[in-house]
Amino acid sequence: MVRVLLVAIALIALIVQVDSDSMPWRMIMAKPGDRVEIGYYNPKNITRFVKNAKGVGQEHVFRVCNGKNKTKCGFWENVKTKKKVEPKTTYNKKKNLLIIQKVSALDAGTYRTPEYDTVDLYIQTD
């Protein structure tokens, strides 16, 4: 009975380990002013978690244009204030790339799709 319990616990631990390892997580390093391209496969939107100039955490959402959402797509929107946020960003559907034209230190953070395809963007400051 004890062996069966130990085998069951080991199997559950293995499943949890395999499941957490299968979530895509990438890192990108860029310099201020660089053009950054992040590959995502067919997302509806991308959320980023960044800090503003005062160091306060913020959440922004970028909605990929699909023909039905023309007024709400193609730019970063602050989730809390509902205002547009820089920088100029586009999504190339043919190449499946989120393109940030000129990154700054304020663009550093975590970028994530609803499917948890996650990218940490680091901006080199020195």
* Residue 46: other Cβ atoms inside 10 A: 22
Spatial CA neighbour of 72 closest among 80, 62, 58 = 62
In the structure, what pLDDT confidence band is assigned to residue 22 with cuts at 50, 70 and 90? low
What is the pLDDT averaged over residues 69-90? 93
Q: Which tens digits make up the pLDDT trace of 43-56?
A: 999 999 999 999 99
What is the pLDDT averaged over residues 71-78? 94
Spatial distance between the Cα atoms of 112 and 76, rounded to a whole number of angstroms? 13
DSSP class of residue 60?
E
Give me the chain's average pLDDT, please: 85
**The CATH fold of domain 25-123:** Immunoglobulin-like (2.60.40)
Kindly state the tokens that stand for 73: 């797509």
Q: Percent of the chain scored above 90 by pLDDT?
A: 71
